[in-house]
Homo-oligomer: A and B are copies of this chain.
Amino acid sequence: MNTRMDAPEPKADKAGVRRHNLSLVLRTVHEAGETTRAAVAARVGLTRAAVSSLVEELLERGLLVESGKTFSGSAGRPGTVLKPATTGPAGLGVELNVDYVSVCVADLTGADRVRRTVPVENRALAPVEVLRRAAGIAAEVLAEAADQDLRPTGVRLALPGLVAGGTVQQAPNLGWNRVDADALFARALHAARPSGATALPVASDNEANVAALAELWFGDLGGVRSFVHVTGEIGVGGAIVLDGELLRGAHGFAGEIGHLTVTPDGPRCRCGSNGCLERYAGQSALLRAAGVRDVDTLERRAQDGEPRALAALDEAGRMLGVAVSGAVNLLDPQAVVLGGIYPRLTRWLAPAAEAELGRRVVSGLWTPARGRLRAASSTADAARGAAALVLRDVLADPQAYGG
């Protein structure tokens, strides 16, 4: 019988209970922002004594801090306030895009504490050189973070391409094929730091994926937990979050909405297909259609009502609407979020896109009450999302960090 109608869950493994509970307590404090031992015990269903012992270890490891007393809440008597530490363990996120590098250090609360964004024409450089320059910027940011007593435990790179197993399989807009980004960056970062600095583990991810996670964790989504995230950069990236989890796909490549076909016989795309959304709504295509060199100029001309700029935005919006309609018909998400260069252009892109959505999404699904294109939050970007992924590892296994 090959039915698997409802396979029972496997027997729970009792090993690593304390390790698991340390994580549970740390995540509970993280989630609450500030709380007490008694409230944590009530929340997670452990005894007060067990929680106190776990909290002690987390304090020693520098992952939690105590601050003052609270007299509020349901715990009945005052307790010492617990918070996640805002010094010590931190995450380093590096967004390496086509025309800029952005580096962020986030503390354990997720706050963006050190930031450096540098325009770089990465297309003109060899991958090893791109990664070397990015590592140089990251080394400076690490030094600045050290001055604030922030010690990143790892690095997450966010790259505009298909990333699997530490290798950028393909990043058409960077012109990269099979680049061992993790290893090259780790080596370059180590070389750029003072001798004696501990080597940091490096892992890569798709830029659109981490931008979507940043929106989930730091954005202004209200109760939305399932959404499609479309990022306008030189190309168009995409990511899918379902019930608070990133959909990675069978090979780690899910979310490539930029290569959804919007016109089967349309212009050739760098990916090898033609008529991809990216060829209409990517930054390069949009600027070319508008006859301008940069997004600032495009925005200014649109504000001035310049017809060619408005027509380019309208056409990009229309094609965005066609592709997003497809994603909505397939996924029935709670929302669609536009990130990257799109938030500042949404007022011109949205009308045409909304018209397509209203027409193409199966009836009842896209209504003003249910769906609206929304601009990504300005505080949620790929570099911060990448830094937060490092922090998530700390939250998941506090014993591996701190102390």
- State the A residues within 8 Å of B (CB): 1-9, 11-12, 24, 27-28, 30-31, 33, 43-45, 109-110, 162, 169-170, 216-218, 220, 226, 238, 240, 242, 244, 247-257, 259-264, 271-273, 318, 322, 325-327, 329-334, 359-365, 370, 388, 391-392, 395-396
Taking CB atoms, residues of chain B closer than 8 Å to A7 are: 27, 31
- Given the interface contacts A251-B365, A332-B253, does A6 sit within 8 Å of B33 by beta carbon? no
**Contact A332–B30 (Cβ < 8 Å):** no
Taking CB atoms, residues of chain B closer than 8 Å to A359 are: 272-273
Taking CB atoms, residues of chain B closer than 8 Å to A363 are: 162, 169-170, 271-272
CB distance from A316 to the nearest CB of B (A): 14
The SS class assigned to the A binding surface is: loop
**Contact B226–A325 (Cβ < 8 Å):** no
**Contact B264–A322 (Cβ < 8 Å):** yes
**Contact B250–A226 (Cβ < 8 Å):** yes
| A228 and chain B: residue at smallest CB distance | B330
Q: How many copies are assembled?
A: 2
**Contact A329–B396 (Cβ < 8 Å):** no
A330 to B325, CA, bound (A): 12
- Which of B27, B326, B365 interacts with A260 by CB under 8 Å? B326
CB distance from A71 to the nearest CB of B (A): 21
A359 to B272, CA, bound (A): 6
**Contact B257–A3 (Cβ < 8 Å):** no
**Contact A249–B331 (Cβ < 8 Å):** yes
Taking CB atoms, residues of chain B closer than 8 Å to A392 are: 5-6
| A255 and chain B: residue at smallest CB distance | B330
A334 to B253, CA, bound (A): 11
- Which of B31, B238, B251, B329 interacts with A256 by CB under 8 Å? B329
Q: List 26 A-B contacts (CB under 8 A).
A: A1-B109, A3-B31, A3-B110, A5-B31, A5-B391, A6-B30, A8-B24, A8-B28, A8-B43, A11-B43, A169-B363, A169-B364, A170-B363, A240-B331, A251-B365, A253-B362, A254-B330, A255-B330, A261-B325, A262-B264, A263-B263, A263-B264, A271-B362, A272-B359, A273-B360, A273-B361
**Contact A6–B396 (Cβ < 8 Å):** yes
**Contact A332–B43 (Cβ < 8 Å):** no
CB distance from A356 to the nearest CB of B (A): 8
A5 to B322, CA, bound (A): 32
A326 to B226, CA, bound (A): 19
Q: Which of A4, A318, A322, A329 has the most CB of B within 10 A?
A: A329
Additional pairs, 8, CB under 8 Å, beyond known A3-B217, A170-B363, A261-B262: A3-B30, A162-B363, A251-B364, A256-B329, A256-B362, A261-B322, A264-B318, A273-B361
A259 to B106, CA, bound (A): 42
**Contact B4–A217 (Cβ < 8 Å):** yes
4 A-B pairs with least C-beta separation: A249-B332, A11-B45, A254-B332, A1-B33
